[in-house]
């Protein structure tokens, strides 16, 4: 606000994705994932929502994941956190729609981001890619245009939606 005098777009992207089999999942690890992936997103919406409501305009895009559709193993806490993101997106869209604010979620599939390349997730490409309708690795550039569209004026009639962007890994 100090720099630009307005906030038109909020993209909630930050998240952590620690692989832990459910049998070894502690409450502390569950809380850590919820804290970053859900509490962090809530706090950002809280911080920016009032400004957008006053301006009668806003675009909020929350990054979910297609694991919520797939129920991916070893990620129960992460899958639950992304379910919360999708639920919150729907509810917030309902409450902010009359103020000119749209709230949507983008649910990517496995994507070759810095975090994925640095972690154990990269091995997942071997079994995920053959399951996709478009059998190649998803790249950040495959996800960004959907976020840009939802942030644009052209997306004015889209709200409360979750758009899966995963090369057809999950079809629903
Ligand atoms: N890459 C994938 O395969 C994939 C698939 C589905 C969904 N997603 C989602 O896309 C988003 C981006 O994922 P990515 O693969 O680019 O991840 P990444 O690990 O490359 O980047 C995540 C970013 O979040 C930041 N971050 C983490 N914890 C934070 C905290 N407590 N406070 C502030 N910033 C914090 C990190 O510094 C990093 O910049 C996430 O919401 C992730 O769940 C990713």
Tokens of 40: 């962090």
The pLDDT > 70 percentage for the chain reads 100
Smallest Cα–Cα separation from 122: which of 15, 13, 19, 1? 19
Tell me how far apart the alpha carbons of residues 148 and 140 are, in angstroms, rounded to a whole number. 12
Ligand 1 pocket, residue 89 CB under 6 Å: no
How far apart are the CA of 98 and the centre of ligand 1, in A? 31
Tell me how far apart the alpha carbons of residues 122 and 72 are, in angstroms, rounded to a whole number. 15
At 156-170, the pLDDT tens digits run 999 999 999 999 999
123 part of a folded domain: yes
CB 61, CB 151: distance < 8 Å: yes
- Domain, as residue range, for 145: 9-165
1 part of a folded domain: no
How many structural domains is the chain composed of?
A: 1
Bridge partners (DSSP) of residue 53 are none
| Ligand 1 atom at minimum distance from 17 CA | 43
Q: Is the pLDDT of residue 6 over 90?
A: yes
22 noted as active-site residue: no
How far apart are the CA of 112 and the centre of ligand 1, in A? 11
At 127-136, the pLDDT tens digits run 999 999 999 9
Tell me how far apart the alpha carbons of residues 2 and 17 are, in angstroms, rounded to a whole number. 33
119 part of a folded domain: yes
Ligand 1 pocket, residue 16 CB under 6 Å: yes
* Whether the predicted model's global pTM rises above the 0.95 cut: yes
**pLDDT band, residue 172 (cuts 50/70/90):** confident
Domain with residue 141: its CATH number is 3.40.50.720
Tokens of 70: 């797939």
CB 60, CB 12: distance < 8 Å: yes
2 part of a folded domain: no
49 part of a folded domain: yes
Catalytic residue among 68, 72, 75, 78: 78
How far apart are the CA of 140 and the centre of ligand 1, in A? 11
4 part of a folded domain: no
171 part of a folded domain: no
């Amino acid at each position: 606000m100090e720099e630009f005098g307005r906030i038109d777009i909020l993209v909630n992207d930050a998240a952590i994705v620690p692989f832990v089999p459910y049998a070894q999942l502690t409450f502390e690890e569950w809380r850590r994932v919820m804290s970053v992936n859900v509490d962090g997103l809530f706090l950002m919406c809280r911080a920016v929502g009032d400004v957008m409501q006053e301006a009668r305009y806003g675009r909020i895009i929350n990054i979910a994941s297609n694991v919520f559709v797939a129920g991916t193993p070893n990620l129960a806490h992460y899958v639950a956190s992304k379910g919360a993101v999708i639920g919150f997106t729907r509810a917030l869209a309902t409450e902010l729609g009359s103020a000119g604010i749209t709230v949507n979620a983008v649910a990517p599939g496995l994507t070759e981001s810095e975090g994925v390349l640095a972690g154990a997730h990269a091995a997942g490409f071997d079994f995920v890619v053959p399951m996709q309708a478009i059998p190649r690795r998803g790249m950040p550039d495959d996800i960004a245009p959907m976020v840009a569209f939802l942030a644009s004026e052209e997306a004015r009639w889209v709200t409360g939606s979750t758009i899966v962007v995963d090369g057809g890994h999950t079809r629903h």
